[in-house]
Structure 1
Amino acid sequence: MIDPPGQHKFKTVNLSGSINIFMPMDGPEGVETLKDEHLAFEVDIAGTTHQDKDAIPALEKLDSTSSIMSASPFCPYIAGNEILLKASDESNPIKALILKCFQATLSCVMVIRFIDPPVFNGTSECILKLLDRRFSTQAREDLELASWTPELEQQFQDFVRNGDAEEFFSYWDAEKEFDCDWSAFYVTNHRKWSPAKWEAYIQWQTIDLYETEKKAYQLMAALQGVVVPKMLGEVILDLSTEAAKITSDGELADAKSMTSDTNDNPRISIIPGLLLQFVDGFELTDLHEHLPREQWQSVVDSSITTLRQIQACGILNYDANTRNFIIDPTSHKAMMVDFGITKFREDVDSDREWDKMQAYKDEEFLVAMAIQHRLKTLTGDTIVYKPTERHWRLMYRYNQEGGENEGGTKEEEEYVNSRLDVVY
């Protein structure tokens, strides 16, 4: 392990057998974090966009680089720490060094360099996207949950050993199968749940996000390395060995690993992750900071083309925003990242229902209007966007104030033809 940074006193501790970390004894200063991939924005159907900090107070919270530390003093995902992963339950541990940490949101994302083995699946460095309920800041904030502590973990492990977690996982799986939008907020008394039950729920939720993103990358196999990163592998945080665990006062105490011998459902206890190609570039959000005005239009057009290719795979991204697009500084081509909150055509019963979902979400229009508004607000200049014919047909059929309209009619053709030359 590399030496800890200077100017502070540190002690080395081991968290659940998988991560060796430096615990600062005089404050968590000097930890490098990067801005989150997520950027919220709102666009009404007329194209009015709100994407500045005055319009969206929550944006300031999302842009804060301190929340990764304030969420829990036990968070081990810090540049310079080592992490142990496994490609499967039977495989040997994979040791890696954390090079850089992005601000935790629904997942914990970091750049890692492999140590042992020094090369894994053909690469020495990559992105690790870890679905760790303990330190997924945005996920915990969205559910209004307290920061993770060892005491909370002990309550959760007792909940698991008693069989309660497995029972609720089965119930939640059944609810999700019946209604893909189901969440804890559908339950009338959810605010009366115990902390242990909430911990089980966020574990269930993070597993769902992981499985969704993995499925998205599988459906986009032909696009990997071109308009989306390559998926290099699936891993789990190595929790298989018995090790010391950090107590609330930072001392070490003997404890079992997070896995429970009585747990027959690995989804209840594993911390899964995806290894993804590291894409070097800047976010579409920051386009004006990296390229001159005359190159903006081609970059936005590239981003829209990327989005259309992904849509053609039967994927509807409910979290599409300008931070999801990484722009190559040389070629100016766009890659899209972050597919944990998506819907799939194969899971929808009919073309009509899928069209309706696309009409209501309309990722392309939202992204175009968001970057247009941002550029105009920050620079006084902007780009243009011309919606497709399909956009207007879906608008006519599903986004009218008077309700849904029948397609394939003379009225629809008149509506569409009158708008084909509209440019925003």
Structure 2
Amino acid sequence: MADHEQDGTNHPRCPYVVRNIIKLQLKTPFDGQTIDVKITKVFEPFTCSSAMVVRPVCPTTTWESDMVLKLFDRRFATEARKDDRLSPWTSDIEQNYHQFILDGHAAKLVAELTADKDLPDWNFGTWNSSQDETYLHDYIQGLYETEIEAYNILADIQGGILNEDVKTRNFVVQSCPENRFHVFMIDFALCNFREKYPGEDEWEECKSWQDEEGAVGFVMQKKLPGGFVYHRSARYKKLDEKYGMDG
């Protein structure tokens, strides 16, 4: 993140507001190229990440149109902070956290989290703000790595994942010529992968109970009474019959 313009319409400490300019560093295949983009829309409230629509300030052949940008930024992981009863981010918290890192305490705590040792119960306020920030950084980093892995898997195959967070807010609908639409799923942070299940029965049972299809279909039917009727796919009808789920 680089220089930004603050218009004062959102949280005064959050740089992710409409009209702000941020810098992005593009990885493969763009060899670390840096580009300035303007935020044109923000999807609020933020959850475990900050989602927004961005547009290049100076369009190039690399990137010419609007795109959805998702940032895993622990400072503004609003829903995650609320769920874990962590204090909202402040500059004072950040300053203390930086010193916690420099003193080597953050690395030690992350190692303990990775080793899954018995740790103080931060849920009940026994940790200080620096320990909270360390925990949240480690958790958000895990979500980021899971999402990257999901995108890599989906690049070549379909049906390689089980998404545990299928909600209508995690879809983007793009209008196309001749009254056609393209639908994109944009959130893969809370996914399990097929390769981690020992057999097809275990995989199908989890797919049945998670019901990713119904999580969208039934919700849209309720939101659009009379305008949309959800028809169960053959695959999920089969899972319903096999595992006793109500379609």
Distance, in Å, in 2 between the alignment partners of 1:124 and 1:387 is 34
Q: Contact 1:107 / 1:129 at 8 angstroms: preserved in 2?
A: yes
1:329-408 equivalences under 5 Å are: 329=175, 330-376=179-225, 382-388=228-234, 390-395=235-240, 398-399=243-244
Q: For residues 161 and 109 of structure 2, what CA distance do their matches in structure 1 show? A: 29
Mapped to 2, the partners of 1:396 and 1:372 lie a distance apart of 22
The aligned amino acid for 1:86 is Q
TM-score by length of 2: 0.81
Deviation (angstroms), 1:398:
4.4
Residue of structure 1 aligned with 2:20, choices 81, 86, 92: 81
Give the Cα–Cα distance (whole angstroms) in 1 for the partners of residues 240 and 128 of structure 2: 44
CA distance in 2, matches of 1:159, 1:336: 37
The answer on whether the counterparts of 2:56 and 2:63 sit within 8 Å (CA) in structure 1 is no
The question of whether the paired residues in 2 share the 8 Å contact of 1:359 and 1:398 is answered with yes
d(CA) in 2 for partners of 1:333, 1:111:
16
Q: Deviations over 1:54-87 (max 9, x none)?
A: xxxxxxxxxxxxxxx3xx5311112222212334
Q: Report the AA paired with residue 184 of structure 2.
A: M
Tell me the SS of whatever aligns to 1:112: strand
**Amino acid of the residue matched to residue 96 of structure 1?**
V
Q: Take 1:174 and 1:350, find their aligned partners in 2: how far apart are those partners?
A: 27
Alignment of 1:41-52 (within 5 A): none
Letter in 2 for 1:108: S
Which residue is equivalent to 2:72?
131
Contact 2:120-2:127 at 8 Å conserved across structures: no
Q: Deviations over 1:200-234 (max 9, x none)?
A: 111111111111111111111147xxxxxxxxxxx
Change (3 A) 1:360 1:74: same
**In the alignment, which of 200, 204, 214 is matched to residue 148 of structure 2?**
214
1:204 to 133, 138, 154: 138
Structure with the greater alpha carbon radius of gyration: 1
Select the residue among 44, 55, 75 that pairs with 1:113: 55
Q: Give, in whole Å, the separation in 1 of the partners of 2:230 and 2:69.
A: 36
Which of 121, 133, 141 does residue 189 from structure 1 map onto? 121
Over the aligned positions, Cα root-mean-square deviation in angstroms equals 3.0
How many aligned positions are there?
A: 238
Counterpart in the other structure of 1:327 = 173
Where does the alignment leave 5 or more consecutive residues of structure 2 unmatched?
Answer: none
Distance 1:171 1:365, change over 3 A: same
Partner residue of 1:140? Answer: 81
How far apart are the structure 2 equivalents of 1:114 and 1:332? 24
The amino acid that maps onto 1:323 is R
Displacement, 1:151?
0.3
Q: In 2, Cα distance between the equivalents of 1:348 and 1:137?
A: 32
Q: CA deviation at 1:145?
A: 1.6
Kindly indicate whether the alpha-carbon contact (under 8 Å) linking 2:23 and 2:34 is maintained by their aligned counterparts in 1.
yes
- For 2:173 and 2:222, the matched residues in 1 are separated by 19
Specify the code of the residue in structure 1 equivalent to 2:109: F
Q: 1:384 to 1:153 in 2, by over 3 A?
A: closer
Q: Summarize the Cα distance change of 1:218–1:323 in structure 2 as closer, same or farther, 3 Å threshold.
A: same
Give the superposition deviation at 1:187. Answer: 5.9
Q: Deviation of residue 322 (structure 1)?
A: 2.4
Matches within 5 A, 1:411-422: none
TM-score (norm 1): 0.50
2:56 corresponds to which letter in structure 1?
F
Instruction: Give unpaired runs (5+ residues) of structure 1.
Output: 1-16, 32-68, 176-183, 224-309, 401-418
User: How many angstroms apart in 2 are the aligned matches of 1:100 and 1:391?
Assistant: 35
Task: Tell me the amino acid that sits aligned with residue 199 of structure 1.
Answer: E
Deviation of the 1:399 alpha carbon: 4.9
* Structure 1 pair 384–82 and aligned structure 2 pair: CA distance change class (3 A): closer
Partners of 1:352 and 1:87 lie apart in 2 by: 40
Report how far residue 129 of structure 1 moved: 1.1
- In 2, the alpha carbon distance for the partners of 1:219 and 1:381 equals 34
Q: Would you say the 8 A contact 1:131–1:206 is kept in 2?
A: yes
